[in-house]
């Protein structure tokens, strides 16, 4: 378990090797070696993960480095090294005026879950990329960025202090920028990459301020020490609430919560495997992970929890409605991700710690599968507008089946993974929050099933679109990885059950305060099953068999439809505020810079000096006798002065 | 016994003549000569002061004389340097009139 640091380090190590090899090798050899190195690194990480997992299951509080975690009460293992010490070491007090920074790894159930998800999805995505990115001229860079991306994410989940977490956090942001803008020859990916970077950066500022606020009150970046201090009530309630909200601001940016969700749909301009990675395992999972990791801070503040839940619900519902009317296959999936991230945040706000992480995992497998399926469709049809597609199962049956599994899982059809995790969220929301929350959550669940049904039936079923005659199914590298993900999307939910053996089921593994077995509220489960099945049947009739005519509904709800299709005009709002507010303010600042700083502050002294010099140079007459006169007068003056002083 | 004041008056008169020469002459050579006059005025003053220090006309204190010898030495060197500069000046500008040597003026 002490070797868990190897998981990210393997991928980190692969990055420079890939780049250097890419310099010396050319063409196919360079591409093959890059892919082989990146995949080998993450495969190594995946293998190490299983050893870590096994070691963790065998460990107890007597194992060196392990103890009962603060807040979670789950087994938490912490291994650290001194990074550096600054200040004057004081032999007597041993603490005075010293900054002691450590870096280390924290292995607890949350970390294990994230490591498993991230290494597995990244491995699948990288193998898939072999087929998808085949022949791309910059494949070596693609794999280098991929390796760096996943290494940063793994560092992020392993970090035992906020400083290391922040470094990894920013690296994740950087890599997403590089990968979203990978095809930077076209303008849209460039713009999307910048948007993703800048929007998440707004949240990152909040995260940084939150970390520093905690540090200024606790005096340590260490998570465990911070949580212990909060548990002991050393921090006032206001500080806890504010720092929780600042951390949440960072999570909102990364996890694309309203109003920072705008970058995620645009990020679809990147290569599809990258979208799969961003949406399932890395970038957006980081925000949910952060809130879960800092849960001892959040759980101390009722206000913070309410805000987390409310933002989550707004995001989940809003994004679900947009997903229902979007016409671009990848964008449907993107809004679906935003909606599900909202559900996870909602669950965390409702103290549903287990449910949120469970849903993160289940959603991760299903969404990676869906994106890889969408990538497969896009790869062979080069089309993303769902209105032009139809009946693709005839030409790409494997993709159709696998995509449908992902859609059904995410839609919440029983025994598939998405059903179990969504059920846990519903239970948590029902238990902790007012009635309106559970009603809206159920509505979101219904919409979620509906848009998944729509995506699946419109693209793969119904009338065959003739122009796709020539289309072929996915190559082996792509279909095998999708198949493996599909297995997880089907069976992963079963970990919710009480299992024999050391693992015992997810409720006993990932928990906050105390473990619990499978919970089941009959009426909620029944309601969610009915809603999901009804949604899929309706979707089948409306989009595949076309036996339900939607035109009437479209005309009756013309206005809300238009608003949702316009994505609630949030992008326009941002554009307006940037044009009107930010740019006006910038012009004002620019004016201050030109008029005050430059003309007065910098040119001013120069002008004064020049004018003075202009006047003063007249005393340099060039006649020797005037200098002699000056010297004589000066001497006489000095003599008079001396005479006055001495008498 | 010549009183000290007489030497000081002589010294002051010589110094004033030298100063006038420095300020009024146009010729660089005459200016250098005027400077020499001022230096010698100072020398007279120093030696007179040295010889009167004990109030009996004895050479009781050598400080003034030593400084005077230093001044003579330095003055000799200074004249050598000044004449060399004036010579170069004459070679280049065909004049030693300092009013015409005004390249460094503003």
Across the interface, of B23, B25, B105, the residue whose CB is closest to A622 is: B105
Is the pLDDT confidence value at B74 over 90?
yes
**CATH code for the domain defined by B4-100:** 1.10.287.3510
Is the pLDDT confidence value at B59 over 70?
no
Alpha helix (H) residue ranges in A133-236 = 139-158, 162-180, 187-218, 223-231
**Can you tell me the distance from the alpha carbon of A134 to that of A128, in angstroms, rounded to the nearest whole number?**
10
Report residue A546: phi and psi, to 5°. 55, 30
**Can you tell me the distance from the alpha carbon of A35 to that of A27, in angstroms, rounded to the nearest whole number?**
13
Cα dist from A614 to A39, A454, A617, whole Å = 73, 81, 6
Residue A294's nearest CA partner among A367, A372, A368, A213 is A213
Partner-chain contact A628 B99, CB within 8 Å: no
Across A334-339, average pLDDT:
90
pLDDT digits (tens, 9 = 90+) for A442-457: 888 888 888 888 888 8
Pairing of strands A75-87, A98-107: antiparallel
pLDDT digits (tens, 9 = 90+) for A12-31: 888 888 888 877 877 677 77
Give the strands of the sheet with A75-87, arranged side by side: A66-68, A75-87, A98-107
Tokens of A585: 């303010």
pLDDT at A98: 61
Point out which residues pair with A76 in neighbouring strands.
A67
Cβ A516 vs Cβ A497: under 8 Å: no
pLDDT digits (tens, 9 = 90+) for A481-498: 888 888 888 888 787 777
Element holding A75 (H helix, E strand)? strand A75-87
Report residue A382: phi and psi, to 5°. 55, 40
Across A459-469, average pLDDT:
77
pLDDT at A374: 87
DSSP string, A308-361: HHHHHHHHHHHHHHHHHH--BHHHHHHHHHHHHHHHHHHHHHTT-HHHHHHHHH
Q: Residue A384: CB partners within 8 Å, gap ≥ 6? A: A328, A329, A330, A374, A378
Q: Residue A3: CB partners within 8 Å, gap ≥ 6? A: A48, A51, A52
Distance of residue B99 Cα from the nearest chain A Cα, in angstroms: 6
Least confident range of A86-90, A114-118, B47-51: A86-90
Distance of residue A633 Cα from the nearest chain B Cα, in angstroms: 11
Alpha helix (H) residue ranges in A382-520 = 397-411, 417-432, 435-460, 476-491, 506-509
Partner-chain contact B19 A628, CB within 8 Å: yes
- Which residues from B are below 8 Å from A625, CB to CB? 22-25, 98
Separate counts of helices (H) and strands (E) for chain A: 27, 3
Is the pLDDT confidence value at A429 over 80?
yes
Q: In whole angstroms, what separates CA A504 from the centre of its chain?
A: 30
Partner-chain contact B23 A623, CB within 8 Å: no
Across A249-275, average pLDDT:
86
pLDDT digits (tens, 9 = 90+) for A30-45: 778 888 888 899 999 9
pTM of the model: 0.77
Identify the residue among A617, A620, A628 best suited for mutation to test binding to B, counting B beta carbons within 10 A and taking the highest: A628
**Can you tell me the distance from the alpha carbon of A119 to that of A113, in angstroms, rounded to the nearest whole number?**
10
Where along chain B do its domains lie? 4-100
Across the interface, of A618, A620, A628, the residue whose CB is closest to B22 is: A628
Spell out which chain B residues touch chain A, with contact meaning CB-CB distance below 8 angstroms.
19, 22-25, 31, 98-99, 101-102, 104-106
Distance of residue B8 Cα from the nearest chain A Cα, in angstroms: 16
Residue for token digits 């194992």? A63
DSSP code of residue A473:
P
Across A415-437, average pLDDT:
85
Residue B53 or A641, more confident = A641
Question: What integer best gives the mean pLDDT of chain A?
Answer: 84
Is the pLDDT confidence value at A262 over 80?
yes
**Can you tell me the distance from the alpha carbon of A199 to that of A356, in angstroms, rounded to the nearest whole number?**
24
């Amino acid at each position: 378990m002490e070797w868990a640091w190897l998981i990210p380090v393997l991928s980190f190590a692969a990055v420079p090797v890939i780049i250097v090899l890419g310099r010396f090798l050319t063409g196919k050899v360079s591409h093959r070696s890059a892919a082989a190195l990146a995949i080998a690194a993450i495969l190594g990480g995946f293998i190490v993960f299983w050893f870590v997992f096994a070691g963790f299951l065998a460990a107890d509080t007597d194992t060196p480095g392990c103890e009962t975690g603060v807040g979670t009460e789950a087994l938490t293992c912490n291994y650290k090294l001194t990074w550096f010490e600054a200040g004057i070491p004081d032999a007597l007090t041993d603490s005075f005026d010293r900054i002691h920074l450590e870096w280390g790894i924290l292995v607890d159930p949350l970390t294990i879950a994230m490591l498993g998800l991230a290494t597995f999805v990244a491995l699948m995505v990288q193998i898939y990329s072999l087929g998808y990115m085949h022949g791309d001229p910059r494949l070596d860079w693609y794999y280098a960025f991929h390796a760096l991306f996943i290494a940063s994410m793994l560092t992020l989940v392993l970090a035992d202090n906020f400083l290391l977490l922040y470094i990894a956090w920013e690296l994740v942001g950087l890599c997403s920028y590089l990968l979203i803008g990978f095809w930077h020859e076209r303008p849209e990916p460039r713009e999307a990459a910048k948007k993703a970077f800048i929007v998440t950066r707004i949240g990152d500022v909040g995260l940084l301020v939150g970390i520093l606020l905690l540090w200024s009150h606790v005096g340590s970046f260490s998570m465990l020490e911070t949580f212990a201090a909060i548990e002991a009530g050393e921090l006032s309630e206001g500080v806890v609430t504010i720092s929780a909200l600042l951390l949440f601001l960072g999570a909102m940016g990364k996890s694309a919560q309203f109003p920072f969700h705008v970058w995620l749909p645009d990020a679809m301009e990147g290569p599809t495997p990258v979208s799969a990675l961003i949406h399932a395992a890395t970038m957006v999972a980081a925000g949910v992970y952060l809130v879960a990791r800092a849960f001892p801070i959040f759980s101390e503040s009722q206000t913070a929890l309410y805000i987390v839940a409310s933002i989550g619900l707004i995001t989940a519902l809003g994004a679900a409605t947009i997903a229902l009317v979007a016409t671009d296959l990848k964008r449907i999936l993107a809004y679906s991700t935003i909606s599900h991230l909202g559900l996870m945040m909602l669950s965390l706000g409702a103290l549903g710690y287990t449910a949120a992480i469970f849903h993160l995992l289940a959603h991760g497998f299903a969404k990676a599968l869906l994106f890889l399926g969408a990538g497969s469709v896009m790869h062979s049809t080069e089309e993303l507008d769902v209105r032009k597609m139809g009946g693709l199962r005839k030409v790409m049956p494997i993709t159709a089946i696998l995509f449908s599994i992902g859609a059904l899982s995410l839609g919440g059809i029983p025994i598939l993974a998405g059903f179990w995790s969504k059920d846990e969220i519903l239970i948590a929301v029902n238990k902790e929050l007012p009635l309106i929350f559970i009603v809206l959550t159920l509505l979101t669940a219904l919409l979620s099933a509906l848009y998944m049904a729509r995506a699946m039936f419109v693209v793969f079923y119904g009338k065959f679109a003739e122009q796709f005659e020539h289309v072929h199914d996915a190559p082996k590298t792509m279909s095998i990885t999708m198949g493996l993900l599909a297995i997880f999307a089907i069976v992963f939910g079963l970990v919710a059950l009480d299992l024999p053996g050391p693992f015992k089921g997810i409720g006993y593994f990932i928990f906050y305060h105390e473990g619990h077995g499978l919970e089941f509220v009959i009426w909620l489960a029944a309601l969610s099953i009915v809603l999901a099945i009804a949604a899929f049947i309706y979707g089948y009739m409306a989009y595949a068999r076309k036996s339900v005519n939607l035109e009437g509904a479209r005309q009756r709800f013309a206005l809300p439809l238009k608003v949702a299709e316009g994505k609630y005009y949030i992008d326009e709002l941002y554009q307006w505020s940037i044009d009107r507010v930010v740019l006006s303010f910038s012009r004002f600042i620019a004016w201050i810079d030109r008029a005050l700083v430059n003309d007065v502050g910098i040119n001013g002294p120069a002008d004064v000096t020049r004018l003075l010099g202009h006047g003063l140079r007249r005393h340099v007459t060039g006649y020797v006798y005037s200098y002699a006169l000056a010297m004589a007068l000066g001497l006489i003056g000095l003599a008079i002065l001396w005479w006055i002083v001495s008498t | 016994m010549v009183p000290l004041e007489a030497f000081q008056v002589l010294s002051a008169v010589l110094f004033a003549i030298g100063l006038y020469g420095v300020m009024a002459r146009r010729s660089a050579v005459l200016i250098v000569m005027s400077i020499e006059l001022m230096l010698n005025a100072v020398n007279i003053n120093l030696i007179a002061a040295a010889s009167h220090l004990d109030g009996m006309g004895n050479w009781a204190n050598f400080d003034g004389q030593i400084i005077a010898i230093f001044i003579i030495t330095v003055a000799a060197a200074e004249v050598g340097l000044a004449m060399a500069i004036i010579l170069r000046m004459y070679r280049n500008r065909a004049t030693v009139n300092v009013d015409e040597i005004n390249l460094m003026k503003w």
